[in-house]
Structure 1
Amino acid sequence: MGLTKTLAHALTDYKAASSLGSKLRTSRMQHLLPLIETVYAKNGSVAIIDIGGTKTFWNILPKEKLDSYNIKITVVNLAGSNCSADDNHFTFVDGDGCNLSGFDNNSFDIAHSNSVIEHVGDWKQMRKFAQEILRLAPITYIQTPFFWFPIEPHFMTPFFHWLPRPVRIALCLTFGLGHFNRALNIDEAVAKVDCIELLDYRLFQELFPKLSIKKEKVLFLTKSLIGISSGA
């Protein structure tokens, strides 16, 4: 299914400002930027921890804003995942988002995560991830793809995530789908299927009961859920 791989590139080419993924990321700044402005007005600087993020993601924030708001971003990823060097605004740290005991409570002003919690494992791991992001800063911003959006955002295949698990595994053995090449064996196919667990509104709300949850829409359908706290 080369079409799904072409679609994945077209929709999530974050180097292209015209791609849907880039446009959605940019639109999310309408929620994030006011939080940054509030912190800067109070502290004169903004310390952000981005759990599972990338430096590329922050291209949505012009460098002049990084400078003018004195923003420092600590990007945490599993060992070997960070491939950028530290600079004036970014520090890269190896770590597990489900266990960030190396950081004290409220070590940062804003705890941020974009499309990560669906990759951390089972419900128990999601609970741990939620607990960590909530304790690291008084302000939280977390986004995740919505289970009931008809196109699975990683495999880029309509209804893929609604199919029985054996069918999804079989498809991964047969085709390259979205961001994934064709699995070479059953172990690899199972790993691809099991590395993603999308959340619906009720589950997301259970993990983050005190956050205000926004619904990001595409063609009148909810594509993503965004949980935000103001720190108030």
Structure 2
Amino acid sequence: MGLHALRFRLVDSPTSLGAKRRALRAAWLSDTFPSLADMTVLDLGGRVESWAHVAVRPAHVHVVNLEPLPTDLPDWAEADQADACELPKSILSRDYDLVFSNSVLEHVGGHERRRRMAEAIRGLGRAYWVQTPYRYFPVEPHWVAPGMQFLPVSARVVMARRWPLAYSPGKSYAAAIRQVLTTELIGRTELRYLFPDAVIRNERLLGLTKSIIAIRRQ
């Protein structure tokens, strides 16, 4: 089996370990918020299709993403193309039952932008759930590379281009360094600082903390 096929089986396929972990996280979300099916949810950095297949779907989901968004939306969803760290007034003036963000905080571009995103999250939602991969888990999750997050930028760029378990090995230097510089894992101390009114929970794999989640209930 090629290593790229191995990555698909471990992370990307519908039956992969990664998919099973995402399903468990969705179940944890619905257990944490028993009224989720009746909630209005703002999803920063997510995708509408991710909510179409969960066991418990909120009454209304508003997805905000920098990526181009689908125009054909189900009646329970809306979508806007915007920066989660610089949300437009049309979104900031609204109120949501829950603000949700999954594996986005580490990609927004440095502590100051993370602080802005956190400030918006805390102000927009009565409750929130913000998940991010844990910096000190031994395997960097985006490249499935042991210890990659602790290497100098130059070494991470080489791995982003050549590591066979990356999403697309062989990419250009410009694409690799852009991806490396916009992927910055954080630890519990910074997450507590960004969300001082939250409970920080650990998502574990083989007894080790794989991701950390800041949660504020209603």
Instruction: Report the TM-score, using the length of structure 1 for normalisation.
Output: 0.84
Partner of 1:25: 22
8 Å CA contact 1:76–1:92 kept in 2: the answer is yes
8 Å CA contact 1:7–1:156 kept in 2: the answer is no
Instruction: Label 1:55 to 1:33 Cα distance change in 2 as closer, same or farther (>3 A).
Output: same
- For the residues of structure 1 that align with 2:17 and 2:101, how far apart are their CA atoms? 19
Q: Point out 4+ residue stretches in structure 1 off by more than 6 angstroms.
A: none
In the TM superposition, what are the counterparts of 1:45-194 in structure 2 within 5 Å? 45-59=38-52, 61-62=54-55, 65-66=56-57, 71-80=59-68, 82-83=69-70, 85-100=72-87, 101-104=89-92, 107-185=95-173, 187-194=174-181
Cα deviation for residue 176 of structure 1 reads: 5.0
Cα deviation for residue 141 of structure 1 reads: 0.6
8 Å CA contact 1:36–1:46 kept in 2: the answer is no
Q: Which shows bigger deviation, 166-175 or 129-138?
A: 166-175
8 Å CA contact 1:140–1:230 kept in 2: the answer is yes
Instruction: Label 1:173 to 1:179 Cα distance change in 2 as closer, same or farther (>3 A).
Output: closer
- Alignment partner of 1:6 is 2:2: no
8 Å CA contact 1:25–1:60 kept in 2: the answer is no
Q: RMSD of aligned C-alpha atoms?
A: 2.1
Which amino acid is 2:116 matched to? K
8 Å CA contact 2:139–2:145 kept in 1: the answer is yes
Cα deviation for residue 102 of structure 1 reads: 2.2
Cα deviation for residue 60 of structure 1 reads: 5.0
Partner of 2:35: 38
- For the residues of structure 2 that align with 1:48 and 1:204, how far apart are their CA atoms? 21
Q: What is the aligned counterpart of 1:214 among 190, 197, 201?
A: 201
Local SS of the residue matching 1:228: strand
8 Å CA contact 2:12–2:19 kept in 1: the answer is yes
Instruction: Label 1:219 to 1:179 Cα distance change in 2 as closer, same or farther (>3 A).
Output: same
Percent identical residues = 30
Q: What is the aligned counterpart of 1:203 among 187, 190, 197?
A: 190
